[in-house]
Amino acid sequence: MLDRLEAGPFDLVVVGGGATGLGVALDAALRGLKVALLESHDFAKGTSSRATKLVHGGVRYLAQGRIGLVRESLRERTALLHNAPALVRPLPFVVPAYRLRDIPFYTAGLGLYDMLAGHDGLGATRVLSRRQTESRLPGIRPQGLVGGVEYWDAQFDDARLAVALARSAEAAGAVMLNYVRVTGLVHELGKVTGLRAEDTETGRGFLLRSRCVINATGVWSDELRHVDARSSKRPVRKLIRASRGTHLAVDRAFLPSDRALLVPRTADKRVLFAVPWLGKVLLGTTDVATEELAHEPRPDPAEIDYILREAGRYLSVPPARKDIRSAWAGLRPLVDTAAGHGGHGPVATRRISREHSVEVSPTGLVTVAGGKWTTYRAMAQDTLQACGRAGLLATLPPCRTQNFILDAAVGERGAGMREEIWASSWGSDGRGEGNSASGKDEGLPGDDEVLRSAGLTPALVRHAARCEYARRVEDVLARRSRLLFLDAALAARVAPAAARILQSETGLDPALDDFLGLARRYALAE
């Protein structure tokens, strides 16, 4: 693919390998356009591997009156369930009630949610008795519980879906490259006509010509917008306001259920959730504003304490800091709707949009920002339509992604991998050992046993390197498998074995020491 990168020009080059950029690349490739995507780190390294793992319409957006956003999200939820059946599945939620007056309130709101979903609904909202609530949520605090309300949304594996998008786009003809960073834009006669890039592994440089350049870099979108603006010495206002969400993984024993717990209004009017995922339970709450734009944002200690404290109010056995198996944070790009309307200072939360925005600069740089995983497909479609309206593409064939099946392993192994990946993603213990690839295992004696202790195999590591773009230990243990996000200490123990096998595949330094330092942070050991 590095060689193909020099064979331009391209119709479209996408900068950024998260959900949005991957969606744009797939949509464009399926339309028959010549496409390249460049990601400076690994696919889904940033925001797109740190989601709450929910494909949802957005219950809390109803209270904000964002009916259009909820409708769109519910439609896209249905599309994802159809198009990625190996990676997305329905998930029931239970909202516990500790006051009788809360039950009709929750029922009315969730009934509206059902009504907006219409034929796209996954199950009817139900009022639960106290006994039914306790049965569905073993581990819920019984003192004062009067009942609950159950409704349906969906759950997915975000990083695995990102890989599926990348492989699908490649199969459709796109050049998909991680660890290739953009070093500058090319302007001619005041218009963007391409970009310069560098392969971070070899230092090899590239000059790419393209009719259209898409800025899909998430919370870092303003950086490329400013690079573009400097070419014409024009001012550019800040478009993105970032928020940070902290997530904690604890053992399933705290909530041994196949249903998620949602508290829509905590004491300080935030949302609390406890979601079963791959054999663990994810605890989290509403995002908070942040100015930090690190690729590895650290969870705020105050947020960790807050999540543990609030979870302890609803779980019969309160989790403590020692019970955290992994802690991580993710940054979310929110569109500042005040941008372009004067002023540079901070804006009120109510003026920060949860919807997406597509901007075409005077030079023709197209920036797509905001949104969420659930609506990635609609965002991609809107982005390409904006390119067409701006005259950046000679022709724009119809969109083909609405019913395009994303096989979890597109390519020579085809649909036969689907059941294996489903087993590895959603096995009863969340570890899964079904997915395999052929290949001679190289490493130290005992590596196989070490990997299997974490639900991995040497073949899984090889498959990640050969078929899923993995270059470093972190790619394998954080995103091709999700071990780092589930149990950071266990990930550190198996990392040397994974590194030896990965190095035998790629011939590259697998960055083991970097990963071990990262695992210590996720384990809250430093």
Detail the DSSP E strand segments found in 340-388. Answer: 352-353, 356-360, 366-370
pLDDT at 351 over 90: no
Distances (CA, A) of 186 to 5, 7, 182, 350, 373: 16, 17, 11, 37, 30
Predicted confidence (pLDDT) at residue 346 exceeds the cutoff of 50: no
- Across the range 32-48, mean pLDDT stands at 97
Asked whether the predicted pLDDT for residue 144 surpasses 70, the reply is: yes
pLDDT in tens, 455-497: 999 999 999 999 999 999 999 999 999 999 999 999 999 999 9
Report pLDDT digits (tens) over 155-191.
999 999 999 999 999 999 999 999 999 999 999 999 9
Give the distance, in angstroms, between the CA of residue 363 and the centroid of all CA atoms in the same chain.
Answer: 30
Residue 347 pLDDT class (50, 70, 90 cuts):
very low
DSSP 8-state class, residue 447:
H
Q: What are phi and psi of 335, to 5 degrees?
A: -80, 125
pLDDT tens sequence across 415-466: 334 334 434 443 434 333 333 333 444 567 688 999 999 999 999 999 999 9
Q: Report the alpha-carbon distance of residue 112 to residue 485 in Å, rounded.
A: 34
- Report pLDDT for 526: 73
Strand partners, 240: 335
pLDDT value of position 443: 60
Task: Sort residue 141 into left (φ over 0), alpha (ψ -120 to 50) or beta.
Answer: beta
* pLDDT number for residue 445: 66
Distances (CA, A) of 249 to 151, 277, 279, 301, 523: 23, 9, 10, 15, 10
pLDDT in tens, 243-301: 999 999 999 999 999 999 999 888 888 899 999 999 999 999 988 888 888 889 999 99
Task: Give the residue-averaged pLDDT of 209-231.
Answer: 95
Mean pLDDT of all residues in 200-204: 96
The CA distance from 39 to 22, in Å, is: 10
| Higher pLDDT pick, 436 / 131 | 131
Cβ atoms < 10 Å from Cβ of 315: 20
